[in-house]
Structure 1
Amino acid sequence: MEAIMKLNGIVNGIVWGPWMLVFFVGTGVYLTVILGFPQLRYFGFMFKEVLGKIGKNAEGEGSISSFAALATALASTVGTGNIAGVATALHLGGPGALVWMLISAVFGMTTKFCEVLLAVRFREKDELGNWRGGTMYIIEKALGMKWLAVLFAIFTFFASFGIGNMVQANSTAEGLSLGFGIPHIYTAVALAVLTALVIWGGLGSIAKVTTYLTPIMALIYIVGGLMVIATNISEVPAALANAIKYAFSDPMAMPGAIAGWSIKIAMTKGVARGVFSNEAGLGSAPMVHATAVVDHPVRQGVYGLFEVFTDTIVICSITAIAILSSGVLTGEPELTGARLTLSAFQTVLGNFGVMILSTGLSLFAFSTILGWYWYGETAGVYLFGPKVTVPFKVLWILCVVLGAWGGAEILVNLWDLADTLNGLMAIPNIIALLFLSGEIRRLVREFDEKRRAGTL
C-alpha cells in the first residue's frame, strides 16, 4: 500500500499540477471564445429553460426529463467539496483562492456546456434499450479511439467506488455523528438500505429521488450559509476586498496570514477545488445528461451551464464568504476542511449551526452516492455489457457499508486514489472537447439559427 500511495502521489502531482490546471482553464477559455461566451449569451435563457420547464413534458428521445437529469447531476457535484473542499482551499491558499475558484467556474460553465451537448449528440441505446452516453461513447463514435474510450471508462469505474461511494458514505456517517451523536454502524446500515431502495429501481428511481432531494438539501444549506453571512454582514465588504486583493498580491502581507499562503497556491488550490467541486472537465455529469428527453443537444447543454453556476458560483461562494466574514480563517488557523466551515457556522448559530452543517454534509454526501452510482454503472456497462448491473448494485451497497463503518486511514488513501483517478478521467475528456470543437460550434450555430427561426 505504501508503494502504491507513493506512486499515486507522483501521478496526482502531475494530473492536478499547475500545468494541468492551465490545461483545464485554458480549454474553457478557448471554448468560451469560439462559442461567443455562451455563459453570458444564454444566461437569461438558462433560467427560463431550467426553471420555466419544471414538471412540463418535453419533446424528443430520452429516458428522464431534462430537469431530472440536472437534479441527478447536481446531486453528484454538490457534495463534500462544497463544504470541506472550499474550506481547504481557503486554508491552504488564503482568501484569494475564492477569486480563482470563481474564475475557473465561469470558464468551467462553458466546458460543462460542451461536455453535455456532445454526450447527447453521440448517445446510444444499450442492449436492454436504456439510453447511455458520456465521454467514452463520444470518443469511440466521434473520434474512433476505442482504446482511449476504454481508458476513460476504467478510470471512471474505479473512481466511482472511492469519490462517489465510500468517502461519501463516511462523510454521511461523520456528519450525523457530529450533529446528532449517531454511531457510525447505525448510519452504515440505514444508508445501505436507503441506497439499495433507490438504486435497485435504476435511473428512473434515482432521478425521482434526486429531483426532490437536491433542491431541498441545497436550500437548507444556502439558508444556513446566508444566515451566517447576514449576521456578519458588516465584515463582508472587507472579506471580499481581501479575496480580490490577495488573489493578485502576496497574501502573507495580510494581517493574521498563515505561513505558506502565496499567489501561486491561492491560484492552484482555488482552481483545483473549483474543478473538483463542479466536475467541469471531468466528463462525469454528461453520463446522466445524455439520458434526458430533449429536442436538441445544445438545449441540454444549457442545463450544464446552470449546474456549474449553482454548484460553484452560488453554493461554494456562500461557504467561502461565510468563512471569510466570520474571521475563523485567521482566528483558528489550525482548522481546515469541514471543521473550518463548522466553526464559521457554530460561531454565529451555535448548536443550530452545527445541526445545519451536519445535515447539509450528510445529504450532500448521500446524494453524491446516488448520482455517482449511475456514472459507475454506465462505465461498467460500457466495459462489460448490461449483465454487470446486478452484481454492480450489490458491490455498491457493500461498499456503502464499509465506507460508513470504515477506519480513517484507508479512507484517506481511497480519497487520494480517487482524486488521482478523477484527474486521469479529465485527460481523455478534454482531448475529446478540443478535437470536437468544430462539431460543438456547428451544433451551437444550428441551435441559434433554429431558435431565431422559431422552430425550437
Structure 2
Amino acid sequence: MEFSIFEQFKELVAAGNGLIWGSLLIYLLIGAGLYFTVITRGIQFRYFGHMFKLMRHSRSASGISSFQALSTSLAARVGTGNLAGVAVAISLGGPGAIFWMWMTALVGMSTSFVESTLAQAYKTDHGDGTFRGGPARYIAQGLGQRWLAALFSICLIIAFGLAFNSVQSNSIAQAMEQAFALPPWVAGVALVVAVTPIIFGGLKSIARVAELIVPMMAAIYLLLAIVVVLLNISELPAVITTIFKSAFGFNQAAGGAVGYAISQAIMNGIKRGLFSNEAGMGSAPNAAATAYTHPNHPATQGFIQMLGVFFDTLVICTATAAIVIMAGPGVFAGNEANGIQLTQIALSKQVGDWASIFVAVAILLFAFTSVIANYSYGETNVEHLVGSRFAPGAILIYRLAVLAMVIIGAVANLGVVWSFADLSMGMMALINLVAILLLSPVAFTLFRDYERQIKDGLDPTFDPQRFPRLSHRVDPDAWPSSRTDNT
C-alpha cells in the first residue's frame, strides 16, 4: 500500500510539472522577460555598468545593506543549481541546455528588476531596524488580493523552507558520500547542527553570514574553473560550438530527433536556469525588500538584484558548464552519475582525484548558505501569513520543520526531490509572474522616475507623494517622505 501511494504521488507530481512547465510557465517566463526588456528598452544592457557603480555604496547603509541583501539572494541562488543543476541540465538536455540557461538569465534580468523594485516600493518597517516585504506584500498592497498573497506565501514556505532545503541537503549528502564515503544521514545531522544557531539568530544573522561566505566561495570556485579552462584552452572554441549546435539540434539526425533534442534542451535549460537564478520566481524580492538602499529609491535594489542574476547564471553556471563539457561526452552523455556527483567526476577528470573533495567542500558552502537564505524567505512569509500576533509561535514551528526537512532531504531519492522542487517552484513563479505583469506599470513609472533624476544629474530619491497609485499604499515608516507636507 505504501509503495502504491508513493508511486501515485510521483505520478501526481509529474503530471503537475507537465502542466505547469510544458503548457504555462516557460511561455509566461520568457514572454514576461521579453516584455519587460522591450518596455524598458533593454534595461539590463543599457544599465549594465550602472549596476556595478551602485555596488560601490551598497555597504554604507545602516540595518541590512544593499550588499547584504544581494549576498542573501545570491546565497539562495548560488547553490545546487549552479553545481548539481547545471550537470543535470547537461545530462538530460545536452550541452545546448546551457544556451537556454543563458537566454533565461538575459531576459530574466529585466524580470528581476521589476519584481525587486516592487518589493522595495511596498516594503514595510519591521520595527527592529529591518524591513520586510516581497511578493506577498506587493500582491496584498498593490493588487489588493490578500487571498492570492496568502496562497503565494504558502507556496513559498513549501518550496523554499521544505522542498528546496531538502534539495540542498541532498546534494551535500551526495557530495560527502562521493568524496569521503560519509553516510548521508551523518551529513544531514551535521548540517542541522551548523544551521540551527544561524536561523535562530534571525534575518540580521543570516545577512551577516551570507555577506562573509558568498563572495569568498564564489571567487574560489571561479578561480578553479578558470584553471580548468586554461588547461583546455585549445578545446574552448569546440565547447562553445557544441553548446550552440546542441541548442538548435544541429548535432542530431534530421526529423523527429531534432525536435525532441531541441525541446529537451529548452525544457531542461529553462527549468534549471530558473532554479538557479530565480528570476521571476518571487524569491529574491524577499531579500531585496530588506535593504536600506543608496540612492534611496526602490529602483536601486532592482538594479543590484539584476546583477545577482547575471553573476549566478552567466558567470558561475557557465563555469560549471565548462568543467562538465570539457570532461567530454563520455562523462555527461554516459549518465555515470546524477547531479553533484557528475560535477565531481568531471572536475576530477580535469585536475585529479582531489577535485572530488574540493567540490564536496564547495557544495557544502554553497548549499549551506542556500539553506539559511531559503529559510529567511520562508520566515518573512510565515509572518505575513499569520500576522505579528501569532508570528513567534508560527516561526518556531517553521524553524523545526526546516531542520526536519534538512535531515529528510539528506537521505531522500534525488529524482523525487528534484521533481517536487520543480513543482513547488513552478506554482510560486506562476503566481508571481501574473502579479508583476499586472503591477508592471508601477515598476515602469519608478524606473522612469529614477532615470529622469539620473539624467538631471541628481541623486535619485523616492517620494511616494508624487505617485498617486503608491502614496496611500506604501508604509510611511518605510518611506518617511510619504508623510512630507508638500503644500
Q: TM-score under structure 1 normalisation?
A: 0.92
Indicate which of 353, 376, 379 corresponds to 1:377.
Answer: 379
2:330 and 2:72 map into 1 onto residues whose CA distance is: 33
Corresponding residue for residue 455 of structure 1: 459
Corresponding residue for residue 475 of structure 2: none
1:395 and 1:19 map into 2 onto residues whose CA distance is: 31
Matches within 5 A, 1:218-229: 218-229=218-229
Matched AA of 2:320: T
Corresponding residue for residue 478 of structure 2: none
Corresponding residue for residue 480 of structure 2: none
Corresponding residue for residue 245 of structure 1: 245
2:149 and 2:330 map into 1 onto residues whose CA distance is: 42
Matched AA of 1:33: V
Secondary structure of the corresponding residue to residue 16 of structure 1:
helix
Deviation, 1:19, is: 4.2
Q: Is the 8 A contact 1:71 1:210 kept in 2?
A: yes
My pick for the range that moved more, 323-332 or 89-98, is 323-332
Corresponding residue for residue 269 of structure 2: 270
Matches within 5 A, 1:299-310: 299-310=300-311
Matched, 1:442 2:441: no
Q: Is the 8 A contact 1:27 1:111 kept in 2?
A: yes
1:340 and 1:403 map into 2 onto residues whose CA distance is: 19
- Structure 1 residues 53 and 352: CA distance shift in structure 2, 3 A: farther
Corresponding residue for residue 152 of structure 2: 152
Deviation, 1:275, is: 1.1
Q: Is the 8 A contact 2:82 2:320 kept in 1?
A: yes
Corresponding residue for residue 16 of structure 1: 21
- Structure 1 residues 263 and 398: CA distance shift in structure 2, 3 A: closer
2:133 and 2:324 map into 1 onto residues whose CA distance is: 38
- Structure 1 residues 277 and 55: CA distance shift in structure 2, 3 A: same
Corresponding residue for residue 435 of structure 2: 432
Corresponding residue for residue 325 of structure 2: 324
Secondary structure of the corresponding residue to residue 201 of structure 1:
coil
My pick for the range that moved more, 90-99 or 172-181, is 172-181
Deviations 1:77-114 (A, max 9, x none): 11111112111212222222111111111001111111
Secondary structure of the corresponding residue to residue 251 of structure 1:
coil
Matched AA of 1:325: M
Deviation, 1:45, is: 0.9
Corresponding residue for residue 44 of structure 2: 39
Corresponding residue for residue 53 of structure 1: 57
Deviations 1:274-321 (A, max 9, x none): 111111111011111101001111000011111100100001111112
Corresponding residue for residue 357 of structure 2: 355
- Structure 1 residues 402 and 247: CA distance shift in structure 2, 3 A: closer
1:94 and 1:398 map into 2 onto residues whose CA distance is: 35
2:249 and 2:25 map into 1 onto residues whose CA distance is: 23
1:419 and 1:181 map into 2 onto residues whose CA distance is: 29
Matches within 5 A, 1:40-439: 40-50=45-55, 52-53=56-57, 55-57=59-61, 63-126=63-126, 130-253=130-253, 262-294=261-293, 295-328=296-329, 333-335=334-336, 336-385=338-387, 386-387=391-392, 388-404=394-410, 406=411, 408-409=412-413, 412-439=415-442
- Structure 1 residues 394 and 267: CA distance shift in structure 2, 3 A: closer
1:249 and 1:414 map into 2 onto residues whose CA distance is: 29
1:118 and 1:54 map into 2 onto residues whose CA distance is: 19
Deviations 1:176-208 (A, max 9, x none): 232234443443333212111111110110000
1:101 and 1:128 map into 2 onto residues whose CA distance is: 39
Deviations 1:402-447 (A, max 9, x none): 333x3x33x6434322320110001111111111121111000000
2:61 and 2:407 map into 1 onto residues whose CA distance is: 38
- Structure 1 residues 323 and 36: CA distance shift in structure 2, 3 A: same
Deviation, 1:328, is: 3.8
Q: Is the 8 A contact 2:69 2:207 kept in 1?
A: yes
Q: Is the 8 A contact 1:168 1:365 kept in 2?
A: yes
Q: Is the 8 A contact 2:280 2:432 kept in 1?
A: yes
My pick for the range that moved more, 237-246 or 125-134, is 125-134
Q: Is the 8 A contact 1:179 1:359 kept in 2?
A: no
Secondary structure of the corresponding residue to residue 262 of structure 1:
helix
Q: Is the 8 A contact 2:252 2:258 kept in 1?
A: yes
Q: Is the 8 A contact 1:90 1:329 kept in 2?
A: no
Matched AA of 1:251: N
1:188 and 1:5 map into 2 onto residues whose CA distance is: 24
Length, aligned pairs only: 445
Q: Is the 8 A contact 1:80 1:168 kept in 2?
A: yes
- Structure 1: which 5+ residue stretches go unaligned? none
Q: Is the 8 A contact 2:171 2:339 kept in 1?
A: no
Aligned residues with identical type, % of pairs: 39
1:123 and 1:358 map into 2 onto residues whose CA distance is: 38
Q: Is the 8 A contact 1:220 1:356 kept in 2?
A: no
Pairwise CA RMSD: 2.2
Matched AA of 1:27: A
My pick for the range that moved more, 14-23 or 422-431, is 14-23
Matched AA of 1:96: G
Q: TM-score under structure 2 normalisation?
A: 0.86
2:445 and 2:49 map into 1 onto residues whose CA distance is: 22
Deviation, 1:261, is: 6.1
- Structure 1 residues 246 and 412: CA distance shift in structure 2, 3 A: closer
Q: Is the 8 A contact 2:178 2:341 kept in 1?
A: no
Q: Is the 8 A contact 2:79 2:363 kept in 1?
A: yes
